[in-house]
């Protein structure tokens, strides 16, 4: 028997392990965490699908996170808005309450809302 078969088998095995091991699918896990964080901290203002139709209204109004106004800003800009908040609006700085990692997760979740 040549050696290709066991080698290929080994590689397939490692790939299978990587895919099926919980915690390895980083993107999925981050989105789930982002969703939890969003529902806890952001939903009251931004609404269930990010449209700015949460229970509480503000002046200036809550940003519609599915609008091109927001989506055309680069991710780095949006991360900064979440980190530092927006001056003179109800949008708070989250940097003292959420880790960098958590803020990335929550933005990743926000970007999954239907446009």
Q: Which residues bind ligand HEC (CB under 6 A)?
A: 41-42, 44-46, 58, 60, 62-63, 65, 70, 73, 77-78, 81-82, 86, 89-91, 94, 106, 110
Residue 10 or 57: the one with the smaller Cβ distance to ligand HEC is: 57
Least distance (Å) between residue 28 CB and ligand HEC: 19
E strands, 14-106, where? none
Report how far residue 100's alpha carbon sits from residue 79's, in angstroms, rounded to the nearest whole number: 9
Complex with ligand HEC: residue 6 or 60, whichever CB lies closer:
60
What distance in Å separates the CA atoms of residue 84 and residue 80, rounded to the nearest whole number?
6
**Measured on CA atoms in the order 69, 73, 78, 84, is the torsion positive or negative?**
negative
Q: How far is the CB of 52 from ligand HEC (least distance, A)?
A: 8
């Amino acid at each position: 028997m040549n050696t290709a078969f066991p080698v290929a088998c080994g590689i397939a095995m490692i790939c299978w392990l990587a895919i099926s091991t919980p915690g390895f699918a980083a993107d999925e896990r981050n989105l789930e965490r982002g969703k939890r964080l969003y529902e806890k901290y952001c939903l009251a203002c931004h609404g269930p699908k990010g449209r700015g139709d949460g229970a509480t209204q503000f002046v200036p109004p809550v940003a519609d996170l599915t609008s091109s106004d927001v989506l055309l800003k680069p991710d780095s800009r949006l991360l900064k808005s979440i980190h530092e908040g927006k001056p003179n609006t109800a949008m708070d700085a989250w940097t003292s309450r959420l880790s960098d990692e958590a803020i990335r997760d929550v933005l990743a979740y926000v970007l999954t809302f239907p446009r």
